[in-house]
């Protein structure tokens, strides 16, 4: 098992520049060429679907978690119907599911607030 938030911090916390390349230390003409090549590289990555727009990822994740939540919400009723357990047990299951879904929503909110790390220059 892994912590998705920690994976995101690791993934987006790493520098985005190739090791050893610092455009701020380049001559202006070289810097311009470097930024133009990076712009073209990123456009190609978007076209090849190596990079996916944030809005699309958010929409897909929201759709997936909505389907998961709907399935989880139906569990207490299904358990009660199939097993004939008492309403107290069903209520306990429902409360546990609510707490877990709220914790998951908090984690997703925290994950959504992560921004790629930027280097500070003095």
Q: Is the dihedral of CA 90, 103, 10, 31 positive or negative?
A: positive
The per-residue pLDDT for 121 is 45
- Neighbouring CB atoms inside 10 A of 107's CB total 13
Please write the tens of the pLDDT for every residue from 17-40: 555 688 889 999 999 999 999 999
The band of 122, judged by pLDDT with boundaries at 50, 70 and 90, is: very low
pTM here is: 0.56
What is the C-alpha to C-alpha distance for residues 120 and 122, in angstroms, rounded to an integer? 7
Structure tokens at 42: 């990123």
Furthest CA-CA distance within the chain? 76
pLDDT digits (tens, 9 = 90+) for 54-112: 889 889 988 998 999 999 999 999 999 999 999 999 999 999 999 999 998 898 888 87
In this predicted structure, what is the pLDDT of residue 120? 47
DSSP string for 15-48: -SSPTT--GGGS-HHHHHHHHHHHHHHHHHHHHT
């Amino acid at each position: 098992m892994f912590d998705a938030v920690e994976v995101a911090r690791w993934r987006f916390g790493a520098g985005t520049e190739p090791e050893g390349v610092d455009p701020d230390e380049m001559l202006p003409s070289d810097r311009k060429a470097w930024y133009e090549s990076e712009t073209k590289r990123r456009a190609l990555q978007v076209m090849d679907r190596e990079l996916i727009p944030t809005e699309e990822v958010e929409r897909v994740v929201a759709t997936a978690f909505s389907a998961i939540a709907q399935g989880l919400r139906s569990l207490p009723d299904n358990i009660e119907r199939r097993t004939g357990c008492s309403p107290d047990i069903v209520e306990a299951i429902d409360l546990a599911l609510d707490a877990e879904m709220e914790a998951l929503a908090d984690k997703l909110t925290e994950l959504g607030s992560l921004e790629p790390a930027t280097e500070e220059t003095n």
